[in-house]
A and B are shown apart, each in its own frame.
Chain A
Amino acid sequence: MAALTIQKVNKVYNKTVHALQDITFEIQEGELFGLVGPDGAGKSTLFNILTTLLLPDSGDIQILGMDLINDYKQVRQEIGYLPGTFSLYPDLSVKENLDFFAVMYKSDIEANMDLIRPIWRQIEPFSKRKAGKLSGGMKQKLALCCALIHRPKILFLDEPTTGVDPVSRKEFWEILQTIRTQGITVLVSTPYMDEATLCDRIALIQNGKILGIDTPEAIIEHFKGTLYTFKSANIFSLLEALKRCPLQCNYYPYGEHCHIAFYEDMETAMPQFLQFLEDNQQEHGDIEPIRPSIEDCFIEIVKMNRHE
Chain B
Amino acid sequence: MGTDSIVAETATRVFRDRCDPQAIVAARNDGWMAGAWSQIEGAGLSLAWVPDDLGGAGAEIADGFAVLRETGRFAVALPVAETLLAGWLLARAGISSPTGAMACGPAREGDRLTVAKDGTLSGRLRGIAFARGAGHLAVLAEREGGGLAVALLSAEGLRIGDETGPAGDPLNTIALDRVWPLAVKDTDIDAEALLLMGAAVRAMQMAGALEAILDIGVRYANERVAFGKPIAKFQAVQHNLARLAGETATALAAAGSAADAIAGGADQDALFLEIAAAKIRVGEAAGEGAAIAHQVLGAIGFTREHILHRFTQRLWAWRDDFGSESQWAVKLGSQVAANGADALWPMLAAR
Are A and B subunits of one complex? no
Q: CB within 8 Å of A: which residues of B?
A: none
